[in-house]
A and B are shown apart, each in its own frame.
Chain A
Amino acid sequence: MLLSLAPSALPIGIHHIEKRFGALSILSDLNLDVAAGEFLTLLGPSGSGKTTLLMILAGFVRANAGSIKVGGEEIITMAPHKRNIGMVFQNYALFPHMNVFHNVAFPLKQRRVSAADTKQRVDHALELVRLQGLGERRVDQLSGGQRQRVALARAIVFEPRIVLMDEPLSALDKGLREHMQIELRNLHRRLGMTTVYVTHDQREAITMSDRIAVMNAGRIEQIDQPETIYAKPKTKFVAGFIGESNFIPVECRNGAIWHENQRLRLSGPAPSAGRHLMVVRPEKLRLLANAEQAGDLNVLRATVGDIIYQGDSFICYAALKDGRQITLREYCRSDVLANLPAPGEPIALGIDASDIVLVADQ
């Protein structure tokens, strides 16, 4: 069977990886387990070490220490060409002196696959990425999206145990990028190969991944499903990097949390005593006509600074009593628009207890 459905997908175990360039530590004691058939995204700002980790997985960069096991087999010292890992490069890295067919057939040629078999498998791979019939095209006759698909076909045609992708969509324009995100995800579901995907685009990570590992300064800050990463960030970095966040300093004493001598209700158990940051997403804040409407909501009082209309929604920038800026986002429903406050007006902002997340104030 051609490009079989995932019986060969293997788990990856990455343990105690250390990577230094001179005195500069890029990765320190990095541990990560990827399940067989999982789509895992490494998400982080540039310089967080995500690409270095991918290069170590592919074998292009040698780690200083650590272990990488694919299906239980240690590959940390294995030469790149023996690893049987497919990779999609950021700039596609298609061979400019070969046409589409020969690009995709390249890995099969190295594996001494017969000509008839090669033809069949290349045709099938091109069909999967919807490029059937373009085999004779030269690489420079293709659009960016088509090159992207050729790179993808080339990376999966030899049924690798693992597929790595290094920001494969970053060179495409927005519409095409969003389209390819869905296509990549569907292809992954059909073929089921273990996939490690690198991006700095948080929306892309949330759209595509089974799990996201958020990296910062050579460490993994949090690894969870997209919903959990967004709703329950564990650190200030994760809350700030994924989505927009308001950070409001709070203090925990006597089993309750306080902001400026105002007691706030929490849905979960109270955290340890001391200072924390309350993370509130702008869309979780509600604009209240008056504080009496609040009911069970926590209420913060603020003064409107500016209101910016964005078509589907508007953003309200307001200042809390201590002068701290806070951002609110509301969809433009007619009842909201009818009661829109003017700049300078005092407002009451409601927060549901279950929407409050506390992180350490670093």
Chain B
Amino acid sequence: MSAVSAGHEHAGRIDGTLNAAALRADTRRQALGFLALLSPGLFLVFAVIIVPVGWLFWLSLFDETGTLSAANYARFFEQASYIKTFMTTFKVAFVVTTACVLLGYPLAYLLSQLPRRAASICLVFVILPFWTSVLVRTYAWLVILQRKGLVNSWLIDHGLISQPLQLANNFTGVVIGMIHIMLPFLVLPLYASMKSIDIDCLRAGMNLGASPAATFRQVFLPLSLPGLASGVVIVFVLCLGFFVTPALMGGGKVIMWAMRMEQAASLYSNWGAGAALGVVLLAVTLSLLGLFRWLLGARAAGVWSSR
């Protein structure tokens, strides 16, 4: 290239400008190249995330008559049913997440300790439900849990109870159904983080005088926390916006956030109200994620960065 000069012609020049312009141009060309490669992805993100969310926010600013107002947001403070829905949503998310941790941690631990072959077979059983539609799985739970369902018939036949338990069409039913659907989202990241724990760290714990229980408590548990944290965040956030299972298993008694949105849009044709619900859910979720990061940040920094 003519812009590039051979070094020996400039042997006398030591002012640090040899080929500087050509090198700068090359850097710029490379940056533009990267941008060109990124552009399809950026366009997709813009088209399917930025634009709809912006539009949602825009819609939420107009009331039913189409005039600009804060009515859609004022409703959150004025109507008790909104606050109740808000509380229910968080209650369900909290109970489901807690139950998933209590069920999922031992399961992930077992999987992480199994020999490789056995572990991959068992993992298939964790992942298998993913391949079935949420709708089908929820109806299956209805069949199992309803008044004359499998569970109640079995308990009555064996004389353990005289009256059927109320397991479906209420809070209990919603929670049971959602735990089943959410469990893999907790188990998979947790399993991955447990598998990455160096077995020599556990050996070192025992070698230095910690009993197996103490080694678990002081070494394994803290090292598995980052995986548990990501599982908890995923499950909690998914719970906040969940629709199908509460709608089917709640029997109309458990109204969650997403169901309100659906009502606003399809029952009352009030897109502004639905949009405002969406915006608030998004804001709450983002601030929760921020809070979570901040809470874990200081503690987990060492664990994460040393990976």
* Interface residues in chain A, defined as those with a beta carbon under 8 Å from any beta carbon in chain B: 58-60, 79-87, 89-91, 93-97, 99, 106-107, 110-111, 138-140, 154-155, 158
Contact = CB atoms under 8 A, between A and B. Distances in A.
A134 to B, nearest CB: 15
B302 A87 contact: no
A110 B203 contact: no
Nearest to A85: B207
Contacts of A97: 222-223, 302-303
Contacts of B210: 81, 106, 110
Interface in B140-169: none
5 contacts: A81-B208, A87-B204, A90-B200, A93-B198, A93-B203
Contacts of A110: 208-210, 214
A106 B208 contact: yes
A114 B210 CA distance: 16
B203 A58 contact: yes
B65 interface: no
Given A96-B303, A97-B303, A81 B209 contact: yes
Contacts of A99: 302
For the residues of B in contact with A, the DSSP-based class is helix
Contact of B204 (A59, A89, A139): A89
Contacts of B209: 81-82, 84, 107, 110-111, 158
B207 A87 contact: yes
The 4 closest A-B pairs by CB, nearest first: A140-B306, A110-B209, A93-B200, A107-B208
A98 B259 CA distance: 46
B201 A95 contact: yes
Nearest to A110: B209
Given A96-B303, A96-B306, A97-B302, A91 B208 contact: no
B305 interface: yes
Contacts of B208: 81, 86, 106-107, 110, 154-155, 158
Interface of B: 198, 200-201, 203-212, 214-215, 218-219, 222-223, 302-303, 305-307
B211 A60 contact: no
Contacts of A139: 302, 306
A81 B216 CA distance: 13
A85 B204 CA distance: 11
A209 to B, nearest CB: 22
Given A110-B209, A155-B208, 14 more contacts: A59-B206, A80-B203, A81-B207, A81-B212, A84-B209, A87-B207, A93-B204, A95-B201, A95-B205, A95-B223, A96-B302, A96-B306, A97-B303, A106-B205
Contacts of A140: 302, 305-306
A86 B208 CA distance: 7
Contacts of B218: 106
Contacts of B206: 59-60, 79-81
Contacts of A94: 201, 204
Most B-side CB within 10 Å, residue of A60, A89, A95, A110: A95
Nearest to A154: B208
A80 B198 CA distance: 17
A266 B152 CA distance: 95
Contacts of B306: 96, 138-140
A60 B215 CA distance: 14
Q: Could you say which of B201, B208, B307 has the most chain A C-beta atoms within 10 Å of its C-beta?
A: B208
A319 B302 CA distance: 60
Nearest to B221: A97
A273 B222 CA distance: 67
B219 A95 contact: yes
Contacts of B307: 96
Nearest to A60: B203
Contacts of A95: 201, 204-205, 219, 223
A198 B197 CA distance: 24
A81 B222 CA distance: 20
